[in-house]
Amino acid sequence: MLILTCSSKLQLLEGVLRKGLPETLLVCGAVMHINRGNPAQHEVVVDSWPEFKAVLTRPRKEVVKDKRDYYANLHAAFYREEDACRTLLENKDAIDWDKAFQLQGLQDGLYQAVKVMAEARSVHMEPHFYQAVLHPDAATLCQNELRSDPFHLGTLNPSHAALLNDTYEFGGNDRSLHYLRSLIEDFPNACLLGHKGKLVAWSLSDALGCLTHGYALPEYRGKGHMKTVMQALARKLHAKDFALYARVLADNKISKQFLSGQGFHLLPWTKYILFLIPNHMK
């Protein structure tokens, strides 16, 4: 395995991954962030170079200090050859299986391989399955006129993290609170603010360039506010040349209808979010 640190190699990798879209969405988003200031302090591991068969993105080892924090310890993987990916994931220098971590990917083989590895290592795996969605032409979404009256568009700040934590599907604890605060501080987001700065609706993006935690408070739903927030965030991501993609639960008809109405296409892949926690930490 190799850790890519050379900026020219990382730029070259980004170009290759962009040509592989949408299959490479997650690792491509991570590499793009690395090449644009690296706010999450991630790094890239490949099985070989330049003809790589598997690529893994992960935090630098000094970044995640809490061994139980699978929110911060975010990994993403993509492979051209499943055996190469399996070999990479089993390499102790690629993934520290003694720490809790999170692994995301779009490939069924990745999920099956990690499941077997986790069982062999007495690591508890908590899988979450989503359908990936992608906007085929984010530029068209960005051309729409933004209407926010009677509210105004804004940007989230760390003081909003507590409310976000209360409404986040994986939230409700101190580690998720810290994670959401880091998303607010490090990555593009958008929100609608009402009287005295009260939050009305919001959407974040993450270290993989994925839209996440889009939410409108119940009393403000059905009035087009999420559409405004989505378009505002789309403009920010499009300006940085990111693909516009998200995840949705397969049975969430309301969210699917909303995303389809914004021009998103359902992709034929499952987005796997795997939380992996050594049994002795449970």
The CATH architecture that domain 2-130+271-278 belongs to is 3-Layer(aba) Sandwich (3.40)
Identify the CA nearest to 189 among candidates 158, 219, 167.
158
The mean per-residue pLDDT over the stretch 99-110 comes to: 98
Q: How far apart are CA 182 and CA 39, in angstroms?
A: 9
CATH of the structural domain 138-242, one choice from 1.10.3720.10, 3.30.420.40, 2.40.50.140, 3.40.630.30:
3.40.630.30
Residue 195: what pLDDT?
87
Domain boundaries, the chain: 2-130+271-278, 138-242
ω before 22 within 30° of 0 (cis)? yes
Cβ-count burial 254-267 (b if 16+ within 10 Å, e if not): ebbebbeebbbeeb
Q: How far apart are CA 15 and CA 17, in angstroms?
A: 5
* pLDDT tens profile 165-215: 999 999 999 999 999 999 999 999 999 999 888 999 999 999 999 999 999
Residue 143: what pLDDT?
72
* pLDDT tens profile 15-57: 999 999 999 999 999 999 999 999 999 999 999 999 999 999 9
Same fold, 2-130+271-278 and 138-242: yes
- pTM of the predicted structure, to 2 decimals: 0.96
